Structure 1
Amino acid sequence: MADSRVVLVTGGGTGIGAATARQLRADGHHVVVSGRRPTPLRIVAEETGALAHPADASDPEAVAGLVAATLEAYGRLDGVVLNAGVGRPGPVGDLDPEDWETVLATNLTGPFHLLRTALPHLLETRGSVVAVASVAALRNGVGNAAYATSKAALLQLCRSVAVDYGPRGVRANTVCPSWVRTEMADRRMNQFAHSAGFGDGAAGIDTAYEKATRLIPAGRPGTAEEVAEAVVWLLSPAASFVNGATLTVDGGVTAVDPGTAAFGFHIETRK
């Protein structure tokens, strides 16, 4: 973004949210980072000069206060990054209803409340929304019913904003990462490593990532900074004709035919 804008980033204390805040601040924009935990937000704020405002993304009153604090600090709102998310593993038959509600409240209903509150201000600035979903919105995995459902619905929520408010200048797009090395993903990999007998600690997590990404053409998990680059681009005027889009930032995994896995999936690097 050539001019200085004001962007609100939920889930901004760690991972993709924190990386997005860093990139936006490096580009000279005002950033408000939000999340449940004050300490990670404070660290990002001290590091980047962003404004930290702790808030539970699933609480409508907290969301309203978050938008109000952003307007009080900067007087406008140009962009919203819907990055806050949680996961609770389990197939439909085993999933605790409380876990289902927790995932939907944070990953879907929270963004709905934030969009309803932010839209009047985004309409004033002809602003932009970027949701961080997941390849789970496009492809499903074992024991991932709540998370995959919430992310698929988040994708459609953003498309609804694009269709309904695009004629008035608001853009809404979604990025769908595959495995990215974040705090949340590390916890999932640690569970995988333990159950699969890969060992505990960093070595076990590294092995789990290696196994989980073996079908990704890139041959590795992504970084939070790689996803942040895509988010920042979608927020910017450089993406002015991109609306209602779904951008996979996945190392090519959604291009793979899973039926080839039985034969072994190998990528050779030829110099």
Structure 2
Amino acid sequence: MSLHNKTIVITGAGTGIGEACARLFAAEGARLVLIGRRAAPLQRVAQATGGLVLVGDAASSADWQEFSTRIQQQYGAIDALVACAGGMGQGSATDTDDAGWQQAMAANLGTAFSSARACLPALQHSRGSIVLLASIASLAAGPGVCGYTTAKHALLGLTRSLARDYGPHGVRVNAVCPGWVRTPMADEEMQPLMAHYGEDLDAAYRRVTAEVPLRRPAEAHEIAALCRFLVSDEAGIITGASIVADGGASIVDVPTLAFERL
């Protein structure tokens, strides 16, 4: 599944799954474009992986005009886009103001749409692929994350629309739906549990995966490995798919959990 000499654009490349993708792809000889809002994390990843660092907002069409020019100048092609940028969207509907709603849509849906739209001309030329980082929040709703859940559900619609429209042009588009993954963002989400129960970070992760069949969260490199497969030639017949990587969380029949405790 070598990615040697393939040019791969990664948004949200400075931390978490995006960083793990960058490190894995670089180890296979890929040429990287690392996109994110903060220069320092991107530069840190670039020191380990090489690649072109582009600082800006992946949801901004104006920033993408500059990004596209720089990518063309540096590499002249794009073979794959892995859209990892996301986050934000906490709060129930009545707790979410207009600004919060717009931020959730921009961070989780707008980044994917704008990135795909900007990369598609080059991807049609290379007959390349797109991977959108969705979530099990694309399949079910957690408490108090209205904006995040709505945007992640919409990502699956975007995946299918892009796959339908650009498959005839040789472009494959798939979504990955992780459950809990040990990343800096998820570590932050553990803080209320840690404070409430007086637990450390490992105990908090054990608590949130207690009913998950594999009884653990994913590591970022495991999700990166799935993304690597999807952008490789071995996945050449796969498009429009939403691949769940959640340790089995989404297969659990919640109303029967009480019977396990009998």
With normalisation by structure 2, the TM-score equals 0.96
In 1, the alpha carbon distance for the partners of 2:81 and 2:261 equals 38
Cα shift readout 1:33-57 (whole Å, capped 9, x = no counterpart)? 1111111100000011122111112
| SS of residue matched to 1:57 | coil
Is the aligned partner of 1:230 residue 2:231?
no
Is the aligned partner of 1:252 residue 2:248?
yes
| SS of residue matched to 2:88 | coil
In 1, the alpha carbon distance for the partners of 2:261 and 2:131 equals 33
8 Å contact kept, 1:60–1:110: no
The 5 Å alignment of 1:112-261 reads 112-194=113-195, 197-199=196-198, 203-261=199-257
In 1, the alpha carbon distance for the partners of 2:42 and 2:140 equals 31
Amino acid of the structure 2 residue aligned with 1:258: V
- For residue 44 of structure 1, what is the aligned residue in structure 2? 45
- For residue 269 of structure 1, what is the aligned residue in structure 2? none
Amino acid of the structure 2 residue aligned with 1:47: A
In 1, the alpha carbon distance for the partners of 2:251 and 2:206 equals 19
State the Cα RMSD in Å: 1.4
**4+ runs deviating over 4 angstroms:** none
Gaps of 5+ in 2: none
8 Å contact kept, 2:163–2:173: yes
| SS of residue matched to 2:174 | strand
- For residue 25 of structure 1, what is the aligned residue in structure 2? 26
In 2, the alpha carbon distance for the partners of 1:29 and 1:178 equals 27
State the shift of 1:182 in Å.
Answer: 0.3
8 Å contact kept, 1:32–1:52: yes
8 Å contact kept, 1:21–1:50: no
Instruction: Please identify, of 119-128 and 185-194, the stretch whose mean Cα deviation from structure 2 is larger.
Output: 185-194
With normalisation by structure 1, the TM-score equals 0.93
Cα shift readout 1:91-150 (whole Å, capped 9, x = no counterpart)? 112122211110101211222122121111100000100001100000111111110110
Size of the aligned set, in residue pairs, is 261
| SS of residue matched to 1:53 | strand
In 2, the alpha carbon distance for the partners of 1:261 and 1:37 equals 42
| SS of residue matched to 1:34 | strand
Amino acid of the structure 1 residue aligned with 2:117: R
Amino acid of the structure 2 residue aligned with 1:56: D
Instruction: Please identify, of 183-192 and 10-19, the stretch whose mean Cα deviation from structure 2 is larger.
Output: 183-192
8 Å contact kept, 1:12–1:83: yes
8 Å contact kept, 1:190–1:204: no
In 2, the alpha carbon distance for the partners of 1:28 and 1:18 equals 15
| SS of residue matched to 1:98 | helix
Amino acid of the structure 2 residue aligned with 1:220: R
Amino acid of the structure 1 residue aligned with 2:178: P
State the shift of 1:209 in Å.
Answer: 1.2
In 1, the alpha carbon distance for the partners of 2:116 and 2:50 equals 25
State the shift of 1:207 in Å.
Answer: 2.1
Is the aligned partner of 1:93 residue 2:94?
yes
In 2, the alpha carbon distance for the partners of 1:32 and 1:133 equals 20
8 Å contact kept, 1:159–1:172: yes
